[in-house]
Amino acid sequence: MSSKVKLLTTILLLLSCGLAKNPLIIIVLFIPFILGIVLLPDKKIFIKRISLFLPFVLATFVFQLFTPGRIIFKGITYEGLYQGSILGTKLLLAIGYSLIFTLSTPPAKIGEALDWITLNKLGLGKTLMVATKFIDLIKKSPKKSPFSTLKYAIEGTKDSMTQ
């Protein structure tokens, strides 16, 4: 699938997550989420990265529990439980869709899609491509001191961008 189509689909799914108020729509949004996870080549990386966001999602859920309404147990309200589960699920879906997109698309293709979306006026795609080349060169640097690694990455980035 084209990176442009993936980016537009991801944006559409993120907007759907943000605007959905009906629990049935949120349940339907799980179908492309599960399909995206199934089609990922390395599911372990997805699990590892999404687990980094789980404390944030859980905190969002817990903060919603105490909204005013009918009390269920020691200050926890029915309305808070409902809002917390809806908001937590929407947040988890949005993070998951973003991760699926970034894990299934090479950074250079994401850069091309961003350039296409912004019509090459903002230069977001080119900036992303330079940043990913820079990070790759830092990872591959044979030198261990910070300044020599930085110098190696800057020279490598200049060389790769002039070719």
**In this structure, are 65 and 8 located in the same domain?**
yes
* Segment 20-49 mean pLDDT: 88
pTM of the predicted model over 0.85: no
> Are 13 and 58 in a shared domain?
yes
Using DSSP's 3-state secondary structure scheme, residue 133 falls into: helix
Residue 45 placed within a domain: yes
Asked if residue 73 belongs to a domain, the reply is yes
CA distance 100 to 91: 14
**Residue 109 in contact with residue 3, Cβ under 8 Å?**
yes
Q: What is the mean pLDDT of residues 48-69?
A: 90
What is the tens place of the pLDDT at every residue in 62-113? Answer: 998 888 888 888 888 988 899 999 999 999 999 999 999 988 888 778 777 7
Burial group, residue 138, by CB count within 10 angstroms (0-12, 13-18, 19+) = middle
Residue 44 vs residues 40, 47, 89: alpha-carbon distances, Å: 10, 5, 21
Number of domains the chain contains: 2
pLDDT for residue 94 = 92
For residues 24 and 101, membership in a common domain is answered with yes
User: Where a domain ends, among 105, 131, 146?
Assistant: 105
Residue range 42-53: mean pLDDT, rounded: 90
* pLDDT the model gives residue 54: 92
pLDDT bucket at 140, cuts 50 / 70 / 90: low
Q: Is residue 115 part of a domain?
A: no
Residue 119 CA neighbour count, 13 Å, CB half: 0
